[in-house]
Amino acid sequence: MSALLAQSPSDGYLLPGFRSAAMPDMLVGRGAMEVASPADLFGPLLVEVQLGRLFADGKTFVDAVPVREPGQIRDAFAFLPADEASLRGFVAENFTLPAPARVHGAHGERDLRRYLRSTWADLCRETVTPNAGGSLLPVAGVHPVPGGRFAELYYWDSYFTMLGLIRDGFEQVAASTVDAFAELLETYGRIPNGTRSYYLSRSQPPIYFAMLGLVPDARPATRRRRLDALLIEHAFWMDGAADTGPGESAKRAVRMPDGAVLNRYWDDRATPRDESYWEDFRTADQSGRSPGEVYRALRAGAESGWDFSSRWFAEGEGLESIRTTQVVPVDLNACLYGMERTIAEVADGLCDDAVARRFDGLARRRRAAIHHWLWHDAGYFCDFDTDTGERRAQLTAATLMPLFTGVATRMQATRVARVTADSLLAAGGLRTTLIETGEQWDWPNGWAPLQWIAFAGLRRYGHRRLAHAIAARWVGTVDAEFRRSGWIHEKYDVERGTGGGGGEYVPQIGFGWTNGVTVSFMDLLGIGSGEGPARFPAQMAETDR
């Protein structure tokens, strides 16, 4: 056994020393199927590959497809000499590595809108039928992928990508994606972070309810299926809530001191992420904390979509202090309010009065709890710290999610608009946070989904000038970088107007949600007609501060 393997952590599903032990090909959870992840299937082989950094990107190995039965590979690995050359040869012999990331090829296009329209063919995939032993999950129907290293279906990315697909006439792809998510809920009891087995232990911001509004379908059978899917998803997020007392938490449910139930991010495992094993191992090792606690917090941070951000850190500290599971996030709870309202409305339309009444009550109680626990006296929505029992004072773009889902009052929306204009609006769009940590979900980066959430939320409450200023500045940033490099990025530096940076992997180009949000902004505001730089009225950069 190598020295690296001897150092590897375990919580029982990844067992150092089992080189010849039998491993399950399927793990069956409570009523929902869980496919074994690469760590389950290959244990110490994965540890040695990832901690030995055989590949610069840890996602490479876990996306590889074995060329023979996993059990045979494990048995052969038990006798492999412990040196890098042997390990590299063994992996090459036993796995087919993923193809290089697909990106839109070289082009001479100068018009941003026309270019975005041309990218959809490269960002959509046909029905996926996985190879045996690989980590890819089956997906029926045409669906979008983000781009770059993200070559599978992702949860919250897809909503923002669908905005653009619909704008460009691909409504059937959007509808097919909604159906694919319903099937994931029916199969696994959740929508995983992405359609890989190593993502099944967590989800992402629950925005499926909002996707339904993009592709309405009046057929009773379709509406019933969608309602049933929403009920499955709600049960996933609320699992364990009934067993908690005031001040207690269970999985993703948090019982607040007054008995109200809110939610947090979580992950069903407390081990290094398969796809970021080396990074997580290093973070835990440097933290001086219980490794399992750190791993769970990192995984929960990945479930949040904000991976990673100062939102999840101890005040003034970095990634090693991550404590996501001690934070009650306002954006998550605003999404769950939207889910509960949608369930009540769909059930009412189907004359399912019992479900409609129940979820109307749940939504009302969540709204009251958000107003009580997640509103800061300084005039914005915030997160809550279960360890300190206090609201977290940090202002972030998450403050706009309650406007997006309609949970804010008019007064609250006005105050959020004011603080957004004063503090979150940058020259190139909406800031994510006001803290620079080197993490990708912190200053100076801006992200397409947060621009759209802010835009739609502000417009919902009548703050159109500020909403349009955010959109116009974002389009200007995307267009300037497109003219400079020819690429569309997953994130942008909204202070300098360039591609963003930070995080644990190379910034990706492609890119699904940037394309979808930017297309929607350009069409809604009439920005960018003709060749060359996007054109928009100067007054769109003004705000109603």
Concatenate the DSSP letters of all residues of 334-366 into one string. Answer: HHHHHHHHHHHHHHHHTT-HHHHHHHHHHHHHH
Q: Is residue 331 part of a domain?
A: no
Which of 280, 298, 326 is where one domain is finished?
Answer: 326
pLDDT for position 207: 98
321 occurs within a structural domain: yes
Which residues 6+ apart lie within 8 Å of 5 measured at CB?
Answer: 16, 17, 44, 47, 48, 51
What number of other Cβ atoms are within 10 A of residue 437's Cβ?
17
Task: Tell me which of 326, 349, 369 is where a domain ends.
Answer: 326
Q: What is the pTM of this model?
A: 0.93
pLDDT for position 103: 63
Does residue 437 fall inside a structural domain?
A: no
The rounded distance, in Å, linking the Cα atoms of 497 and 487 is 13
- Residue count of the chain, please give it: 545
Which is catalytic among the residues 48, 239, 280, 307?
A: 307
Residue in the structure block whose two tokens are 């100076």:
444
Is residue 310 situated within a structural domain? yes
Under-70 pLDDT residues of the chain: 1-34, 102-106, 529-545
pLDDT at 365: 98
| Residue 533 belongs to some domain of the structure | no
* 436 is a catalytic site residue: no
**475 is a domain residue:** no
Residue 154 located in a structural domain: no
pLDDT for 505: 81
- Please give the tally of structural domains in the chain: 2
Is 490 tagged catalytic?
A: yes
DSSP symbols for 120-135: HHHHEE--B-PPTTSS
Note down the domain range covering 312: 268-326
Of 326, 356, 371, which one is at a domain's C-terminal end? 326
Please indicate, yes or no, if residue 35 is contained in any of the structural domains: yes
pLDDT at 7: 39
Closest Cα partner for 292 from 3, 8, 1, 491? 8
User: Which region, left, alpha or beta, applies to residue 528 given φ > 0 means left and ψ of -120 to 50 means alpha?
Assistant: left
Is-cis flag, bond preceding 146, omega within 30? Answer: no
239, 267, 490, 504: the catalytic one is 490
